[in-house]
Amino acid sequence: MSLIKFIPANVTIDAAKDTKLLVVARKNQIPIRFGCASARCGTCAVKVSDPSAFLPMQSNEESLLKRINLPTGGEVRLACQARNSGTTDTMVDISFQETYSPDDLEGDGSL
Ligand code: FES
C-alpha cells in the first residue's frame, strides 16, 4: 500500500500495489477524464510527482504518450495504464489534463 494524493481535489487514498491509477480515482469519485481505458485515446494522462510510485511504463503507454507529444520519462502517465508500485507515496495532478489535447489522434489511436 502507498498513499496517492490527488490534486486539485486534495484527496489522499491508500492504494493497493498493482492497482491502476484510473481504478483508484474512479472508485474514490475523483473527477478524471478518460475514454478507452486501453492506451488508445490519450485522454487520461496525468502528472505525477514521483515516477517510482508506479510500475515501469509498458511499450503501448510509451508509444501513445510519444504520439500525443507528452513526456515519456515517467512524470506523465496514462491513468488507465499506470499501476501503483506500492512502495512510494505520490501526488497526482489531475489538472494536467486541461493542459493538453489528444485531438491529434483519430478513432483507432493512430495518427
Ligand atoms: S483512457 Fe484512453 S488512453 Fe487512457
Best of 26, 78, 101 for a ligand 1 pocket test (most atoms within 8 Å of beta carbon): 78
CA distance 43 to 14: 24
Whole-model pTM: value is: 0.92
Q: Where are the alpha helices (DSSP H) in the chain?
A: 21-27, 59-67
Q: Residue 95 in 3-state DSSP?
A: helix
- Closest residue by Cα to atom 1, ligand 1, is 37
What pLDDT does residue 75 have?
97
Instruction: Report the pLDDT averaged over residues 70-83.
Output: 97
Cross-strand partners of 83: 20
Instruction: Report the pLDDT averaged over residues 63-92.
Output: 96
Task: Give the number of the atom of ligand 1 that is nearest the alpha carbon of residue 34.
Answer: 1
Instruction: Check pocket membership of 31 for ligand 1, CB cut-off 6 A.
Output: no
DSSP 76-89: EEETTT-BB-SS--
What pLDDT does residue 105 have?
63
Instruction: Check pocket membership of 77 for ligand 1, CB cut-off 6 A.
Output: no
Q: Is the pLDDT of residue 51 over 70?
A: yes
Domain 2-99 has CATH 3.10.20.30: yes
- Helix and strand numbers (H, E) in the chain are 2, 5
Q: Which three cell numbers stand for residue 102?
A: 489528444
Q: Residue 23 in 3-state DSSP?
A: helix
Q: Where are the domains of the chain?
A: 2-99
Q: Is the pLDDT of residue 110 over 80?
A: no
Instruction: Check pocket membership of 23 for ligand 1, CB cut-off 6 A.
Output: no
Portion of the chain with pLDDT greater than 90, in percent: 88
Instruction: Report the pLDDT averaged over residues 32-48.
Output: 97
Instruction: Check pocket membership of 46 for ligand 1, CB cut-off 6 A.
Output: no
